[in-house]
């Protein structure tokens, strides 16, 4: 099931919110026949029904949970620190500005967000400055993709150069998450929408990476961020088939949500075991449905425990919002007192003190 996100577009003055396709939610169980795709007016043309999705099963790697020495040097300009995960959020709370939402979370948690996650469309002007984010925090810019041909043939080079110059102008380390969830079929930059061509995605990624380098945007850390499972399940749509290579990736990210009582290891274990031996991991989007009682609080505690047992996880970014149209679930972390208490305990633990 995919969902539509809301981001605050700096260039809008009358209304700062508009819909764009955001990351896919965790899949229905593997035996399900279809997954309904929700869509906003901007992305209705991209929506389809998808077959049930299953997580990838990587080759056995019994040593993957142990932190290799080389990983500590990863992360690019946003360095990975062993045992100190960064904690952040996509923040969009009803009736609040970003600054107000950040202030609320600071009061509740007794600490600052270390990553502030924002979303932009392909032809948006990326920000030269983000308001409401502390000097010691890192922006993570999720930038939508487009069809591969428009990138590979050079017709969008000027747009890409502009984006590189604008992120360079931030004069601070920036996480760039371009073309996220490329292994799902709900976005126009997926191989499923581009002739089932993983090579096209990789060539597009490398072209962007090269243009940013040519423009001197060396403050950017590149976050390659698939969904936790693939749709469709095919050899050309696996993590391995879509990975641009260590030279072009600073962080391996992953989106995953607890919708159907999935454990954190069900969602995040496969990609961890595939990449933790050579790249730091970032949970770039995560949330949990409240199924009554302490279910949400208990899952947050399980997530904290799982991260504690997986040392290559260097960042966790909660999807903290209550503004999604068409969803009864509220993804914000304080839907009830027990959930907030569980998240505050996570936030105050040494493991999340990055």
Residues with a known catalytic role = 181, 285
Length of the chain: 354
The helix/strand/coil state of 3 is: strand
* Other CB atoms within 10 Å distance of the CB of residue 236: 17
Give the CA distances from residue 102 to residues 44, 314, 319, in Å, rounded to whole numbers and listed in that order: 31, 21, 13
Q: Which of 113, 114, 6, 2 is nearest to 48 (CA)?
A: 2
Token pair in block for residue 100 = 């107000």
CA 153 distance to own-chain centroid: 27
The helix/strand/coil state of 229 is: strand
The helix/strand/coil state of 25 is: coil
* DSSP per residue, 325-337: TT--S--STTSSH
Token pair in block for residue 169 = 């102008």
d(CA 120, CA 126): 7
Q: Which of 240, 236, 304, 318 is nearest to 273 (CA)?
A: 240
d(CA 134, CA 21): 27
Enumerate helices (H) and strands (E) in the chain, giving the number of each. Answer: 8, 14
Q: Which of 310, 226, 233, 232 is nearest to 265 (CA)?
A: 310
Element (H, E) at 90: strand 86-92
């Amino acid at each position: 099931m995919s969902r539509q996100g809301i981001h605050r577009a700096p260039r809008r003055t009358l209304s700062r919110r508009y819909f764009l396709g955001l990351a896919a939610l965790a899949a229905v169980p593997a035996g399900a026949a279809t997954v309904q795709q929700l869509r906003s007016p901007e992305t209705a043309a991209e929506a389809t029904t998808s077959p049930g999705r299953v997580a990838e099963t990587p080759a056995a790697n019994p040593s993957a949970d142990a932190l290799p020495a080389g990983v500590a040097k990863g992360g690019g300009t946003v360095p990975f620190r062993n045992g100190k995960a960064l904690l952040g959020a996509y923040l969009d709370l009803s009736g609040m500005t970003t600054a107000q939402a950040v202030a609320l979370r600071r009061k509740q948690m007794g600490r600052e967000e270390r990553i502030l996650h924002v979303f932009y469309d392909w032809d948006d002007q990326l920000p030269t400055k983000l308001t409401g984010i502390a000097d010691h925090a890192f922006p993570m810019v999720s930038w939508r993709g487009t069809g591969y041909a428009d990138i590979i043939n050079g017709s969008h080079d000027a747009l890409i150069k502009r984006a590189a110059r604008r992120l360079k102008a931030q004069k601070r380390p920036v996480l760039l998450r371009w073309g996220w969830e490329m292994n799902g079929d709900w976005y126009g930059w997926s191989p499923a929408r581009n002739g089932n061509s993983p090579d096209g995605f990789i060539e597009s990624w490398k072209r962007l990476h090269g243009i940013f380098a040519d423009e001197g945007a060396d403050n950017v850390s590149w976050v390659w961020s698939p969904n936790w499972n693939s749709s469709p399940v095919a050899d050309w749509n696996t993590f391995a088939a879509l990975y641009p290579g260590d030279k072009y990736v600073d962080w391996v990210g992953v989106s995953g949500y607890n919708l159907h009582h999935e454990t954190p290891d069900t969602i995040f274990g496969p990609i961890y075991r595939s990449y933790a031996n050579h790249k730091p991991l970032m949970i770039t989007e995560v949330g949990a449905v409240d199924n009554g009682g302490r279910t949400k609080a208990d899952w947050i505690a399980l997530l904290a425990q799982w991260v504690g047992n997986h040392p290559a996880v260097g960042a966790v970014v909660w999807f903290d919002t209550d503004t999604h149209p068409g969803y009864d679930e509220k993804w914000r972390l304080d839907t009830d007192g027990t959930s907030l208490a569980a998240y505050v305990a996570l936030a105050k633990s040494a493991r999340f003190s990055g």
